[in-house]
Amino acid sequence: MTTFWIISALLIFVALLFVVIPLWRSQSTSNAVLRNAANLEILRDQIAEMDADLRNGLLTQELYEQGKRELQARLLEEVKEEPSMIAGVRSPLKLLAISLAVLLPLTSVFMYWQVGNPKSLSPQASLASMSGSGMTNSTDSLKALEEKVAKNPKDGESLVLLARSYGEAERYADAAKAYEKLTQFVTDEAWIWADYADVLAMAHGQSLVGPPTKLIEKALALEPNHTKALALAGSAAMERGDYVAAIRYWNRLLKGLSPDGEDAQMIQGGIQQARELLAQSKGGKAPAAQDVGSSQSVAPGKERISGVVSLSAALKSKADPSDTVFILARATHGPRMPLAIVRKQVQDLPIRFSLDDSMAMRPQMKLSNFDEVEVVARISKSGNAMPQPGDMQGISEPIKPGVNGLKISIDQMMP
């Protein structure tokens, strides 16, 4: 921004030199002044001739004095201004030069401020244009970006590309570090904070609780209706069991989506699930996943996922036989609500499970609607499907629906 104004000032200064200097050096005189100056010059020539004639003896002293008096009379009659006044005439061209030197820069700045776009000069604007851009995660490109950022740590565009390339390569911790550096000098772009929260959650076991939630709050403070920030805020609220907040965030998100779009249908499914869990937490009777699935007459198909869930030896002493075990499938990218869920107890471990479309909570939230999902097995001390500190879990790698023989070990303590 500063560089732009310095260059603009230099260009205006150079332009003024070409206009002001010729005007300043030029002299402006009226026709009367020019005429008087010419008459004065003629009379001076005539006096000089008379002086020469007197010296050469062509005129007597008497005739010389008489002729000189006549010339002086003509001088007083024809010359209206004294020579000293002629020299003191103020040139209007100089006034014009001064006016242009003042008005041209002011007018240029004013016109740019009215017609131009000063915000486009900020580094944030160039970053904002990248908020929907794609990128490559090839090794050569990634190394080139890393070298470029190392040379110029405040190159915002390169930092964004590097962060997203790390994300594409599933190097979420590195992506989070890149976004952290970016937010040190670009603080007013909501999409940066939302993307930062997303990769930070992926780097911390796909949990939005804690630091990712704070980043989401910063995004919403900058742009209250930011689509991704609202979606993440609803998922974070669901994760911490705040179903009222989840409903509120997702309802706000729905207002900006096409009612007939797939995204809107997915969010509506999440809102419905939040309402059911809210009713269950207040002592109301929420329909079981299996009951909802059967009432919708959704038949299982090739999307079925099956496998075995076991508990690691290191955590066996920390789990009670009566603790609840949730086995659920959720989309790798998209709303974090379950697509299918099974409820068991620790005493049933190891558990052979099967998840399919017949367990869908909503018709539009089925396993077969997603290309990539993950299976989560969680031991809940509270009996709540939403994760809580002290729960234990295991998560599969991203898989395609239809995988059989999946093995999941519950081997992580949730902070």
Q: Are residues 40 and 113 in the same domain?
A: yes
100, 120, 140 — which closes off a domain?
120
Phi, psi angle pair for 78, to nearest 5°? -90, -35
Q: Are residues 263 and 335 in the same domain?
A: no
Q: Are residues 276 and 383 in the same domain?
A: no
Domain count, the chain: 3
**Domain, as residue range, for 73:** 2-120
Q: Band of the pLDDT at 294, cuts 50, 70, 90?
A: very low
Distance in angstroms (rounded) separating the CA atoms of residues 136 and 366? 31
Share of the chain above pLDDT 90, in %: 19
99, 120, 141 — which closes off a domain?
120
Q: What is the mean pLDDT of residues 127-137?
A: 47
Q: Are residues 244 and 333 in the same domain?
A: no
- Give pLDDT tens digits for 34-57: 566 666 777 777 777 877 777 877
Answering whether pTM is above 0.75, one says no
In terms of C-beta distances under 8 Å and separation of at least 24 residues, what long-range contacts does 153-157 make, across chains too? 153/181, 154/185, 156/123, 156/124, 156/126, 156/127, 156/182, 156/185, 156/186, 157/126, 157/127, 157/130
Q: Are residues 94 and 241 in the same domain?
A: no
Q: Which of 261-265, 311-315, 319-323 has the lowest mean pLDDT?
A: 261-265
Q: Are residues 111 and 211 in the same domain?
A: no
Q: Are residues 73 and 25 in the same domain?
A: yes
- Give pLDDT tens digits for 85-97: 444 445 666 777 7
CATH number at residue 392: 2.60.40.1120
